[in-house]
Amino acid sequence: MIKEFHKVVSVDEAIETIENIRKELKIDRKIEEVHIKDALYRVLAEDVISNIDVPHFDRAAMDGFAVIAKDTFYADEERPVELELLGYIKAGDTNLYEISEGKTYGIATGAPLPKNANAVVMVEYADVRGNKVLIYRPVSPGENVTHAGSDIRAGELLLRKGTFITSREIALLSAIGRTRIKVYKKPKVAIISTGDEIISPGEKLVYGKLYDINSYSLYSRVLENGGIPDIVGVVKDDEREMEHVLNSVAEKDYDIILTSGGTSAGVGDLIYKVVERIGKIYVHGIAVKPGKPTVIGRIRDKLFVGLPGYPTSCLLIFDLLVAPVIRYLSGLPEREVKKIRARIATKIFSEKGRREFKFVHIVTGENSVSAYPVSTGSGAISTFSLADGYIVIPENVEMLHQDTEVDVYLLSEKLRPADLVIIGSHCIGVDILLNIMNKYMPTYAKVINVGSTSGLMAAKRFESDISGTHLIDEKTNEYNLPFIKLYGLEDKVYLIRGYGRMQGIVVKKGNPKNIKSLEDFLRDDVRIINRNKGSGTRVLLDLKLREIAERKGIDFKELVKNIKGYEIEAKTHSAVAAAVAMGKADAGLAIEAVARMYDLDFIPIKEEIYDFVIPKNKIDKKHVKKFIEILKSEEFKNELEKIPGFKILEDTGKIIHKPV
C-alpha cells in the first residue's frame, strides 16, 4: 500500500512515494537489442562475455620470418643461421601453413603464424638468399608474436551490465565481432501543457496569450535524462477536455505521464480533480520552494506527475522527482550536478519547513567566488538565463548570513560568462543605458542590485565590471570619491562620473501637512518613512539631519529620537512612495521619479550624483568602453532626461579618479 498524503509532504516523502508507485505499478527496466552503431550513450543490459580469443590465432607482430625460436639461439652477425624459405604468408591469409626445424616462412605483420613456429625474426635481422634465409640474431620463444587470446580471452568478462556505452566500449564490442547488444529501453514520457492562456511556440502570438515553455523544456530534459519524450500538446483549463486527453494518453505505451500547470487554486485545482476521478492521487502539495503545487499519482498503470506551471518550478520539480525515475529505467546513474563553493554576498531569508532552491549568480573576483541571489522569481523564465546555479536551503534553516559558504549547483557545466557584470545600487538610468547599448552591441549583462556600499565591496574584490554608487560624504558634501578612499579602493578602481538624480521629500498629493523642508520631519504631527542603512538616500538624510542638529545645538541621536518613523526602513524608492501613498507615512526621502509614479507631490532637496566605479582590470573591456561611450551620448541624454529628476551633468562620462 502506498501512503496517501492529505497534507503537504516533504521532498523526501515525495521522492519515496514516486518510488513506491513505480514499484507497485511494476514500471521497471525493459531490455531491447540495438546495433552498436546506435548504442552510443545507452546502457548495457547484459554482461558481455567474449566468445572468442582476440586475436584468435597466434599472429606476427612484426614483418619478418616465422621460426622455431630454438633454431635461432646461436645466430649472430658473424655466424648467421641459415633456414629454408618455404614462402610468404600475408596478413589475412586463411591457409594453414606449417614449418619444421630449419625452415621458415616470410610473414607480414598480422599474418597467422605457421604451425610449429613460435617466434618471428624481424626483417631487419635477416637476409633472403634465393630459397634460403640468413638469420643474424636469435629470438626467444614468443618474440614478436601476439598470442591467441593475449588481448581478450574467450570466456572473459569484457563489459559489465550497467556500463554506460561510449566509443571505448564500442571498440571492445567490435573486437569480439558483436554488432547487436542488449541495452535498457528508454522509457516513454508523455508531456502535456495546460492553460487557456498557453499557445504553442510557432503559433501567432495574440493579446492575453503566452508561449508554452514547459512542453519543449520538458521534452529536452527527458532526452537529457535518457527517456523518449512525446509532446501531446496544450490542453485548455477544462475538466472534460483534460479527462479525455489523460484517458487516451493512459491507454498508450507511455511509462510516465507529465502535465504542467493546472495544479493551483486559480484553475480550481483542475489536475487534482481529474486525476482523482480517473486515477489516484497520493501527494498533493510539496514543502518546497518553488514547486509547492505538485501532484503525484497514477492513471491506470502509468506514473502521473502534475508539475507546476511556472517554467523554473516545473523544471526544478522535474529534476527532483521525475528525472531519477527516467534515469533508473534507462539504466543511467544518478545525475551528477557540478557544484562549486561560494560565499553568499547578501543575507538570504527562507521559510522554515520548506526546502528552498534559490537561484544565484556566480561572480568570481580575484580571490573570491560570490553567489548573489537572482531577483527574478520562479515565474520568470529569464531566471534561467540570469542564474548560474542554485543553492539549496534546508527545511530547518530560516536565514543564511552574508558570507556563509555554500554549495552552488550549476545549471550548466560551465558558468555563463556575462559581457558586463554590474553590481551595486539599482538605477533606472542603468536600464535605459543598457537598452540603448543593446542596439549597437549585443550585450549579455548581469545586473545585480545590492546597494552602493556592497557594490563598492564587489569592485574591491574585482568581481564587478561596473558598480553604480551614490554615496554622499557627510563632511565634504562630496559624492562617491571620498568613499573610494574610505574603503581602500584608490589603487584599484576608476571612478566615472554618471548623472544627477533629484532627491527630495515625497508627500501626499496637495501636501496636506504643508511640509516644506526636512525640519518639518521633527514636527509632532509628521510621521516619516526611512530608507535602509547603507543606502545612498539614508546617508543623505542623515547628513541633512546632522546639519539641522548642529544648527539647533542638539545631539544627532536626540534629534532622530524625536522623528516619528525614523526607525521604519523601506528598501526601495518605490516602497517609500507607496508608504506615503497608502497613508502609512506623511513623508519620506526618495527620487522624484517615484513621486510621479504614485501621483504624489515632491519637494526637491538635493541633486545627488550617481557614478560608476570600474575596477582597473576591467577598464579596457570592450563592453565597458561601449558603456562609457553611450553614457556620454546624446541618445542617452535624451532618453534619461525624459524621467523626472534625472539630468546629464557637465562632466558625465569623465574620469573622476584613476587608480594610483
- List the interface residues with a second copy, window 258-317 (CB under 8 A): 264-267, 311, 315
Q: Please, which residue, 180 or 625, has the CB nearer to a second copy?
A: 180
Q: What angle do CA 157, 161, 167 make, to 5 degrees?
A: 80
* Residue 646, SS3 per DSSP: strand
Query: Binder to a second copy among 122, 152, 278, 340 (CB under 8 A)?
Result: 152
Under rule CB under 8 A, residue 173 binds a second copy:
yes
Rounded Cα–Cα distance for residues 367 and 472 (Å): 29
Residue 322 DSSP symbol: I
Query: Binder to a second copy among 248, 382, 517, 638 (CB under 8 A)?
Result: 382
Query: Binder to a second copy among 177, 353, 394, 488 (CB under 8 A)?
Result: 177
Could you tell me which of 526, 159, 185, 535 has the C-alpha nearest to residue 328?
185
Nearest approach, Cβ of residue 478 and a second copy (Å): 34
Q: Please, which residue, 127 or 197, has the CB nearer to a second copy?
A: 197
Interface region with a second copy, contact rule CB under 8 A, candidates 142-150, 519-527, 632-640, 648-656: 142-150
Cβ atoms of residues 503 and 602 within 8 Å: no
Interface region with a second copy, contact rule CB under 8 A, candidates 133-141, 292-300, 463-471, 513-521: 133-141
Query: Binder to a second copy among 34, 110, 621, 643 (CB under 8 A)?
Result: 110
Q: Please, which residue, 454 or 633, has the CB nearer to a second copy?
A: 633
What length is written for the chain? 660
Rounded Cα–Cα distance for residues 363 and 542 (Å): 32
Rg over alpha carbons for the chain, rounded to the nearest Å, is 37
Output phi, psi for 367, to 5 deg.
-130, 30
Sequence-distant (≥ 6) Cβ neighbours of residue 243 within 8 angstroms: 274, 277, 278
Q: Please, which residue, 173 or 250, has the CB nearer to a second copy?
A: 173
Rounded Cα–Cα distance for residues 196 and 234 (Å): 9
What does the per-residue mask of binding to a second copy show for 200-239, with x meaning CB under 8 A? Answer: -xxx-xxxxxxxxxxxxxxxxx-xx------x----xx--
For residue 431, what are the CA distances in angstroms to 435, 442, 468, 631? 6, 14, 12, 12
Query: Cell 635477416 identifies what position?
Result: 126
Cβ atoms of residues 212 and 198 within 8 Å: yes
Sequence-distant (≥ 6) Cβ neighbours of residue 550 within 8 angstroms: none
Query: Binder to a second copy among 549, 560, 578, 593 (CB under 8 A)?
Result: 578
Interface with a second copy in residues 27-56 (CB under 8 A): 36-37, 39-40, 47, 49, 52, 54-56
Interface with a second copy in residues 416-455 (CB under 8 A): 435, 438-439, 442-444
Under rule CB under 8 A, residue 179 binds a second copy:
yes
Nearest approach, Cβ of residue 345 and a second copy (Å): 23
Interface with a second copy in residues 311-350 (CB under 8 A): 311, 315
Interface with a second copy in residues 474-533 (CB under 8 A): none
185-203 in b/e form (b: 16+ CB < 10 A) is: bbbbbbbbbbbeebbeeee
Nearest approach, Cβ of residue 472 and a second copy (Å): 27
Under rule CB under 8 A, residue 168 binds a second copy:
yes
Q: Please, which residue, 282 or 328, has the CB nearer to a second copy?
A: 328
Under rule CB under 8 A, residue 111 binds a second copy:
yes
Under rule CB under 8 A, residue 599 binds a second copy:
yes
For residue 545, what are the CA distances in angstroms to 72, 240, 295, 608? 107, 66, 56, 16
Under rule CB under 8 A, residue 128 binds a second copy:
no
- Give the interface size with a second copy as a residue count (CB under 8 A): 119
Residue 54 DSSP symbol: B
